[in-house]
Amino acid sequence: MSETRAQSPERLHQDFHAVWGNPTGWRALSIVNHTSIGLRFMLTGTVFFLIGGLLAMLIRAQLARPELPLIDHQTYNQLFTLHGSVMMFLFAVPMVEGLAVYLIPKMLGARDLVFPRLSAFGYWCYLFGGTILVSSLALGLAPNGGWFMYTPLSSAAHSPGVNADFWLIGITFVEISSVAGGVELAVSILRSRAPGMSLDRMPLFAWYMLVTSLMIVFGFPPLILGSILLELERAAGFAFFDVARGGDPLLWQHLFWLFGHPEVYIIFLPAAGIVSTLLPVFARRPLVGYRWLVLAVIGTGFLSFGLWVHHMFTVGIPLLGQAFFSAASMLVAVPTGIQVFAWLATLWTGRPLFNVPMLWLVGFLVIFVAGGLTGVMLALVPFDWQVHDSHFVVAHMHYVLVGGMLFPLIAGLYYWLPHFSGRLPSERLGRWGFWLTFVGFNATFLVMHWTGLLGMPRRVYTYPAGLGWALPNLISSVGSFVMAMGVAMVLLDIGLHFRFGRRAGDNPWQADTLEWATALPPAAYNFVSLPACTSRHPLWENPALGQSIAEGRHGLPTIDHGRRETWGSDPLSGQVREIIHLPGNSWLPLYAALVLTVVCLSLLNGAYALAGVAALATLGILLRWSWVNGAHPLAAPDARTRPGDPPLHSRTFDGPGLWGMGTTLLANGVLFFSLIFAWFYLWTVAPNWQPPARSPLPGLALLLDGLLLGAIVLGFRWLVRRLRRGNHRRLEGALWMLAALGLLQAAGLSWVLAATPLAPTASAHDALIAVTLGYLLLHCALAPLFTALQAWRVRLGLVGERAPYEPAVVLQWWDYCLLTFWASYFALVLFPRGIGA
């Protein structure tokens, strides 16, 4: 695969630039390249961080003395709600995803992520959703029910204004971006690694991001579902969380924390990945215990889903039930301990350098370990009953999040600065920034443990004198301003270095991972030629790798075909399986996000007709997006590759889109099963749940409709199997027929929905049936649409024996429809009959 090119490196770079280069001016909005998108994510994240920090300063100012009249209760409630929401949803998650979007392809030796348009779409959703949320503050309409939005406080009865809608709609919009990022990173890590980069040679940061991405895929959908249900309850009067109508406010808490706890680890794990990347470089020694760390990362990922109930220890769940989650919460100490001691052993056996990033890592260790230990304390039920919802928890949580995420992040930013700018930051300003932040942070939050133990609850906008809270609060407030100065110093340092920093040479830290084999700052395509990977430390093994890459001595060094390409590799062994061809710059992601913004704004203003139209427009844009793929003239019409190279992915049965669809459906499936969980949950525990004596659903009609769906899926499967064997006779006609049958099935389902006498505003029972049927209908209606488009593509010659790949992707959708249909049938029709008997 590797063959020395006669062309000069400069010429080669020019040719690559012609295909990969970023447009300037307003056309830059169409960029899909991961380097630009990653930087945009991080820049935007920094802006939101500053906004969130400003809110925190206001909060601390108000709490500095007892009964200060600085900020009234309404504003204060908006401030703390937005501080939490902005920091969690608009700073922490997008920031680490942005860093990963920037780094992952470079670390894996790839030229881009596998779905570049999805990265851009994710960024725009994040920007617009975040802007909607933050703009509510300027309008004085910011959400004021806490970042956890507990019902019934957030219900229409108790929060009649538009404030809560801003939260539900804005955050859901941003979550689309997070899930998109999660899908994209997971598939890219599994499918686009350098040749030979088997699972056991992957940089640890990629392991951390793989687990994090999958956690996002599993963790966010419950909250998305919860937000949809709550918004339906608020806007359309459906009953889900209202006790009087058979709902339960605890359902919201389960859905929220099912997301909310993994969220903490979604933020922490990438940061720990940064630590595991930096430490070996500065200790000048490979990380000790690679397998242990992989075990710890996987373990943390799973355990973090098994402890959401520890946020609900005070709601009156049986003690034994609480004890399960208490024990599970404590267990997280084990994988965390493994990581801490693996890092320690690495330092112990290495020859550590003590510079600014290392300083931040030491700060991370002190603060994070302290936060982890108070976390174990909180996991203990009787102690949690005492300090839950007090300032002790506020202190703990900031130790974990600031110590566990912000400190490693800043260490990482310092470390990768030469990558962003080609320059090195100043040592002196960096040290000042660190010490101010470190001291200020501890002054603020160490004391706050004490405030909490003295009985001060969270989320109070003022407090009386005489309870012993005045002094610790004053110390916290002063400390927070010191910390703010430290952060300002860091930002100043980073800002100044772009202008005054020393030029960094190649690989300035003598690091081991492939991202340092690019030019500094890198070109959009990262590598002119794609190197094979023979160890965990490619650059320590071969320090001159960057040189030979730039000379085009490795894989895929040609660009005369005009395609953006990277390797598609085996998820386990990293062996090359195909060439992934990537789409170029596109306006579609921006348009799709803009139209979605219209959807959100119309929903906020109650303009439901407009929202519907805009939603259809979004669908249209997304379909256009999927149209420009595969053998389309704007994608890869010419499938010729160099002799010896594998085929293009769209000419096989094995592209990343197959994995992307699978992962997306996984996320979708979590959302669906959260819905089914809600059904069973309310059925068993809602105090006023009253199922009717006979289910209102026409069981027989639903059964027949499901059988028709099964027949269609069997037909589609048969078609794809035939195609796999190279037989594409009458493919188009068969697809048209399946689309027509699918339309019939969807029509049957909508008849069921219309014919069932449901009163979703009167009972949670009917509301859940209505939502489940609506969900099924949406999916079953899209399936024939996708199928018809495939038929059309067959007619145009875009799909067929040469490009057989897309029907296999659509088949997954059909399978998904079938699975959810029968799961719903079981839950809605069979289960009530079984119980009733």
User: HSE (CB half, 13 Å, CA atoms) of 74?
Assistant: 7
Which of 155, 171, 225, 149 is closest to 678 using CA atoms? 225
Cβ 388 to other proteins shortest distance, Å? 6
Structure tokens at 518: 């690019």
Per-position DSSP letters for 443-458, written without gaps between them = HHHHHHHHHHHTTPBS
Strand partners, 568: 578
CA dihedral 551, 557, 562, 564 (to 10 degrees): -100
Closest CB to other proteins among 146 and 698? 146
Report the residue number, 301 or 557, with the smaller CB distance to other proteins: 301
Shortest approach of other proteins to residue 333 CB, angstroms? 4
CA 822 to each of CA 116, 590, 675, 703, 827: distance values in angstroms, whole numbers, following the listed order? 35, 37, 14, 9, 9
Q: Which is nearer to other proteins, 330 or 713 (CB)?
A: 330
Residues 6+ apart with CB under 8 A from 484: 53, 57, 440
Name which of 366 and 720 has its Cβ closer to other proteins: 366
Question: Per the structure block, which two tokens stand in for 834?
Answer: 């079984």
Which residue, 393 or 517, has its beta carbon nearer to other proteins?
393
User: Are 689 and 765 within 8 A, CB to CB?
Assistant: yes
C-beta of 349: minimal distance to other proteins in Å? 4
Calculated CA dihedral for residues 340, 345, 350, 354, nearest 10 degrees: 30
Tokens of 162: 């538009």
Tell me how far, at minimum, the Cβ of 297 lies from other proteins, in Å: 10
Provide, rounded to whole angstroms, the least separation between the CB of residue 155 and other proteins.
8
- In 515-549, which positions are buried (b, 16+ CB within 10 angstroms) versus exposed (e)? bbbbbbebbbbbbbbbbbbeebbbbbeeeebbebb
Determine if the peptide bond prior to 656 is cis (ω within 30°).
no
Q: Residue 145 or 804: which CB sits closer to other proteins? A: 145
CB-based contact 12:96 (threshold 8 Å): no
> Which candidate, 740, 719, 739, 743, places its Cα nearest to that of 731?
719
Inter-axis angle of helices 319-331 and 356-379, to 10 degrees? 160
Cβ 600 to other proteins shortest distance, Å: 26
In the complex with other proteins, which residue's Cβ is closer, 673 or 822? 673
CB of residue 255 vs other proteins: minimum separation in angstroms? 15
Distances (CA, A) of 372 to 15, 119, 201, 336, 375: 51, 33, 30, 8, 5
CB of 450 to other proteins, least distance (A): 7
Check if the beta carbon of residue 45 is closer than 8 Å to that of residue 91. yes
- Looking at beta carbons only, is 200 or 638 nearer to other proteins? 200
Q: Is 628 exposed, middle or buried (0-12, 13-18, 19+ CB in 10 A)?
A: middle
Q: Are 460 and 454 within 8 A, CB to CB? A: no
49 CB-near residues (< 8 Å, 6+ apart)? 87, 91, 95
Cα gap 316→91, rounded to integer Å: 33
- Please tell me the distance from the alpha carbon of residue 99 to that of residue 456, in angstroms, as a whole number: 37
Tokens of 281: 């470089």
Nearer to other proteins, 187 or 595 (CB): 187
Beta carbon of residue 527, minimum distance to other proteins (angstroms, whole number): 23
Do 405 and 96 form a contact (C-beta atoms < 8 A)?
A: yes
Residue 248 or 493 with smaller CB distance to other proteins: 248
Minimum distance of other proteins from residue 202's CB (angstroms) = 10
**Minimum distance of other proteins from residue 365's CB (angstroms):** 5
In the complex, minimum distance from the CB of residue 92 to other proteins, in angstroms, rounded to a whole number = 21
Of residues 384 and 732, the one with the C-beta less far from other proteins: 384
Residue with Cβ nearer other proteins (164 or 523): 164
* Nearest residue (CB) to other proteins, 685 versus 796: 685
CB of 109 to other proteins, least distance (A): 16
Do the bridges between strand 423-424 and strand 502-503 make them parallel or antiparallel, or are there none, so unpaired? antiparallel
CA distance 333 to 224: 29
Q: Is 503 helix (H, G, I), strand (E, B) or coil?
A: strand
**CA distances for 649 relative to 295, 641, 791, 801, angstroms:** 32, 11, 20, 14
Q: Select 104 or 342, whichever has its Cβ closest to other proteins.
A: 342
CB of 385 to other proteins, least distance (A): 3
Task: Please state the closest distance from residue 353 (CB atom) to other proteins, in A.
Answer: 9
**Amino acid type, 450:** W
Would you say 104 or 294 has its CB closer to other proteins? 294
Residue 473 Cβ vs other proteins, minimum distance, rounded to whole Å: 13
Q: Give 158 or 721: the residue with its C-beta nearer to other proteins.
A: 158
- 505 φ/ψ sector (left φ>0, alpha ψ -120 to 50, else beta): beta
Could you check whether the bond before residue 571 is cis, i.e. omega within 30 degrees of 0?
no
Cβ at position 166, least distance to other proteins in Å: 17
Question: Which of 88/176 has CB closer to other proteins?
Answer: 88
Q: What share of the chain is helix, strand, coil (3-state, %, to 5)?
A: 70, 5, 30
Between 359 and 758, whose beta carbon lies closer to other proteins?
Answer: 359
CB of residue 355 vs other proteins: minimum separation in angstroms? Answer: 11
Q: How far apart are CA 529 and CA 5, in angstroms?
A: 10
> What is the C-alpha to C-alpha distance for residues 368 and 374, in angstroms, rounded to an integer?
10
